[in-house]
């Protein structure tokens, strides 16, 4: 019975009952829901499918195969970890939002048709915005509104694309839009209009270049615990959907490559460390999109493995910054420093997360990211391979060094705060445990990957370990060199413009200018018309006033003369 | 944002440098030694490279390639940051004003 319901539905329905537990126990209720949902999901049979007929169309509301299974599993792990991390929060709204959000994301990646996907897609958007609004500031309210508008646009594009696709093909099934299998490649030009609209919807949610800035705008404005939820689901749901529908699309390789590169430069100069993490998230998504674009078994497995590891270490990094935000009240690098003295455990967990994202051996990033880079190498794509190496050095910069260094070390800010609450530390411990466990016991993850590989991928070869250590350690040496020579850009309080400038400044300005122009034109037309009308009235007035031609008193002889003329004309007309 | 550091210990009793701050040079020396160790390891394990880790590109075979690449790429990213900052940096309250 339980398996005929979409996975995650326990969390969505159960969330609505959380208010019954009161402020004190709703957090525990949320944790219990996540665990119960995982227990139900764990016993789901392989290749499980549930169909439902609605309005004469068969909807595939549950489709659990290997690709959806690994994503749904890591979503559950993220939901449980984030729930533990949020146990101290007394705001029931946040727990409801978190559970509905996580549950709908899980249901979305187990959806076999595009209508179910659309419903879950929109539910993730509507529920997650409350995690931003819960901060309770004007800034977070505005940021949440922008987030919601962009997410809903993505949903509308998805629905429009699904309708067009259904019209063209008669199918609502959510599968590969070109029917490609791993190893085959295609192009965006081969897609129909419906599939192109769906790709755009996924691109918005997946933070493609130029469509990305909702991510850096909204995530730093979430609550300390809410951002941990946010970091896990939305963008990775997009990655899952891209892997399902568009694997092997050549254009995705270069889109992904751009995504790995431009955020690292923004991250260098960003002061808010949660915003640095949002750029870093964008950069990590880039690796996954490259893997999807390459479209081989190795690269797609790499994408799934990297998404799995990334969700956990990124949650860990956001958790460490959330703890700093809770205790210090800010995550601005200019205000922080020296926190290792008062938050030693948070420091250690943050360093483990930073080491994982940078890809140090024995930590999770090493065994997943390398699969994607190796897949690029196997395809002999030299430029791509080189650019991914640059991006790897960039990851070392913004997440490997900058986050832990400026928060916990650097110049001592003099702030002495309490260590994070026990539940936050436990949440970080669970995530850190997974980072290390996945790095060491990598076969456990590899056997969950969606595709069977002809040649088993072995991450721990002397060459790979030594090469990776060279890259990372010499990058760290470069940091020391730049700091010692004062060439590293100092942290300053500033706002750095990104594409959100277009809709936060340029569009309002253009609308203002447009409004002013319309006003001027309108005023001009009114003035002209009034002037014309005034002229006509004046003329009539002059004609009909006492001295006017038509208004004055005429003599009898003149009247008789004109009457005679008129009668004469009538006579002539009568004859001819 | 409400903070929970009201009951935090006073600032004075913990103001002396920590063990880590007193040994920064030791950490830097450790890093330099680790860097050198990776280069030495590359020399030692080189015969195993071709069999266990098939190189996809010739450039990978150059001694210390990833070391130089890591250093240069890191410096390049930071310098690009300087350049980007010239174009995109605004006052902190830019969007609020």
Q: Is the pLDDT of residue A131 over 50?
A: yes
pLDDT of amino acid A492:
87
Q: Nearest Cβ partner of B77 from A139, A397, A467? A: A397
Q: Which B residues 27-66 touch A at CB under 8 Å?
A: 28, 31-32, 34-35, 38-39, 41-42, 45, 48-49, 52-53, 55-57, 60, 64, 66
Q: Is the pLDDT of residue A27 over 50?
A: yes
pLDDT of amino acid B59:
82
pLDDT digit string, tens, across residues A498-539: 998 999 999 999 999 999 999 999 999 999 999 999 999 998
Going by the DSSP 8-state scheme, the letter that residue A348 receives in this structure is: H
pLDDT of amino acid A53:
77
- Contact between B73 and A487 using a beta-carbon 8 Å cutoff: no
Q: Nearest Cβ partner of B92 from A390, A489, A494? A: A494
pLDDT of amino acid B7:
43
Which pLDDT band holds residue A51 (cuts at 50, 70, 90)?
confident
pLDDT of amino acid B55:
67
> Which residues from B are below 8 Å from A390, CB to CB?
73, 76-77
Q: Is the pLDDT of residue A181 over 90?
A: no
Other beta carbons within 10 angstroms of residue A80's beta carbon come to: 20
Q: What are phi and psi of A486, to 5 degrees?
A: 55, 25
Separation of alpha carbons B96 and B65, rounded Å? 47
Which pLDDT band holds residue A155 (cuts at 50, 70, 90)?
very high
Q: Is the pLDDT of residue A36 over 80?
A: yes
Q: What are the structural domain ranges in chain A?
A: 1-247, 248-490, 500-537
Going by the DSSP 8-state scheme, the letter that residue A53 receives in this structure is: E
- Contact between A494 and B91 using a beta-carbon 8 Å cutoff: yes
pLDDT of amino acid A313:
96
Q: Nearest Cβ partner of B57 from A135, A385, A417? A: A385
Mean pLDDT of A321-330: 94
Mean pLDDT of A297-310: 96
Helix (H, G, I), strand (E, B) or coil at A47: coil
> Which residues from B are below 8 Å from A296, CB to CB?
none
pLDDT of amino acid B10:
45
pLDDT of amino acid B62:
84
Separation of alpha carbons B77 and B73, rounded Å? 6
Residue in this structure with the two tokens 């020296």, named with its chain if needed: A338
Helix (H, G, I), strand (E, B) or coil at B95: coil
Residue in this structure with the two tokens 């994982």, named with its chain if needed: A356
Tell me which of A51-65, A211-225, A259-273, A467-481 is least confident.
A51-65
Mean pLDDT of A248-272: 94
Percent of chain A beyond pLDDT 90? 81
Which of B2, B70, B96, B97 to substitute to test the interface with A, most A CBs within 10 Å?
B70
pLDDT digit string, tens, across residues A66-114: 999 999 999 999 999 999 999 999 999 999 999 999 999 999 999 999 9
Separation of alpha carbons A8 and A111, rounded Å? 11
The residue among A346, A333, A347, A339 whose CA lies nearest residue A417 is A339
**Low-confidence residues of chain B: pLDDT under 70:** 1-15, 49-55
ipTM higher than threshold 0.90: no
Q: Does residue A468 sit at the B interface (CB-CB below 8 Å)?
A: yes
pLDDT digit string, tens, across residues A538-562: 988 888 887 777 777 778 888 899 8
State how far residue B35 is from chain A, nearest Cα, in angstroms: 6
Please give the sequence-ordered ranges of beta strands (E in DSSP) within chain B, or none if there are none: 89-90
Q: What are the structural domain ranges in chain B?
A: 17-88
Q: Which residue of A has its CA nearest to B54?
A: A463
């Amino acid at each position: 019975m339980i398996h005929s319901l979409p996975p995650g539905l326990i969390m969505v329905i159960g969330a609505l009952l959380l208010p019954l537990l009161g402020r004190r126990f709703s957090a525990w209720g949320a944790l219990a829901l996540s665990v119960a949902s995982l227990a139900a999901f764990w016993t789901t049979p392989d290749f499980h499918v549930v169909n439902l007929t609605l309005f004469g169309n068969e909807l595939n509301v549950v489709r659990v195969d290997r690709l959806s299974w690994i994503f749904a599993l890591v979503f559950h792990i993220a939901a449980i970890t984030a729930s533990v991390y949020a146990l101290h929060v007394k705001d029931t709204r946040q727990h409801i939002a978190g559970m509905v959000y996580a549950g709908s994301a899980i249901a979305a990646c187990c959806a076999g048709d595009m209508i179910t996907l659309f419903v879950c897609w929109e539910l993730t958007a509507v529920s997650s915005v409350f995690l931003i609004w819960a901060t309770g500031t004007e800034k977070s309210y505005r940021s949440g509104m922008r987030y919601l508008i962009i997410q809903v646009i993505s949903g509308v594009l998805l629905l429009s694309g699904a309708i067009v696709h259904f019209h063209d093909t008669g199918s609502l099934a959510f599968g590969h839009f070109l029917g490609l299998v791993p190893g085959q490649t295609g192009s965006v030009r081969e897609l129909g209009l419906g599939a192109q609209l769906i790709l755009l919807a996924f691109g918005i949610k997946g933070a493609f270049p130029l469509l990305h800035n909702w991510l850096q705008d909204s995530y730093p404005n979430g609550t300390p615990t809410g951002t941990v939820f946010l970091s896990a689901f939305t963008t990775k749901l997009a990655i899952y959907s891209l892997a399902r529908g568009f694997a092997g699309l050549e254009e995705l390789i270069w889109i992904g490559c751009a995504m790995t590169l431009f955020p690292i430069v923004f991250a260098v100069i960003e002061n808010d460390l949660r915003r640095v993490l949002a750029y870093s998230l964008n950069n990590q998504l880039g690796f996954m999109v490259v893997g999807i674009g390459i479209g081989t078994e190795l690269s797609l497995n790499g994408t799934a493995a990297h998404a799995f590891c990334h969700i956990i270490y990124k949650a860990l990094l956001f958790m460490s910054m959330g703890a700093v935000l809770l205790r210090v009240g800010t995550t601005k690098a200019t205000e922080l420093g020296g926190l290792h003295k008062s938050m030693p455990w948070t420091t250690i967990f943050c360093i483990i997360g930073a080491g994982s994202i940078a890809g140090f051996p024995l930590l999770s990033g090493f065994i997943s990211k390398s699969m994607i880079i190796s897949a690029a190498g196997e395809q002999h794509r030299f430029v791509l391979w080189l650019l991914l190496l640059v991006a790897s050095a960039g990851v070392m910069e913004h997440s490997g060094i900058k986050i832990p260094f400026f928060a916990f070390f650097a110049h001592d800010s003099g702030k002495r705060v309490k260590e994070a609450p026990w539940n936050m530390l436990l949440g970080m411990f669970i995530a850190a445990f997974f980072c290390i466990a996945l790095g060491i016991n990598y076969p456990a993850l590899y056997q969950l990957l969606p595709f069977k590989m002809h040649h088993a991928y072995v991450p721990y070869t002397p060459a790979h370990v030594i090469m990776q250590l060279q890259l990372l350690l010499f990058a760290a040496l470069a940091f020391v060199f730049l700091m010692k020579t004062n060439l590293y850009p100092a942290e300053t309080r500033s706002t750095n413009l990104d594409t959100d400038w277009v809709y936060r400044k340029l569009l309002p300005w253009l609308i203002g200018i447009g409004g002013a122009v319309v006003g001027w034109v309108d005023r001009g037309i009114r003035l002209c018309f009034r002037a014309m009308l005034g002229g006509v009235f004046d003329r009539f007035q002059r004609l009909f006033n006492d001295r006017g031609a038509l208004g004055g008193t005429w003599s009898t002889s003149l009247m008789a003369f004109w009457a005679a003329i008129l009668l004469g004309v009538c006579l002539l007309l009568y004859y001819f | 944002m409400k903070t929970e550091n009201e009951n935090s210990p006073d600032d004075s009793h913990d103001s002396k440098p920590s063990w880590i701050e007193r040994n920064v040079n030791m950490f830097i020396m450790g890093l330099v030694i680790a860097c050198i160790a990776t280069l030495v390891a590359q020399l030692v394990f080189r015969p195993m490279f071709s069999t266990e880790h098939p190189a996809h590109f010739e450039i990978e075979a150059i001694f210390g390639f990833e070391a130089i690449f890591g250093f240069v790429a890191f410096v390049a990213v930071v310098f690009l940051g300087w350049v980007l900052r010239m174009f995109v940096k605004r006052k902190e309250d830019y969007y609020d004003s």
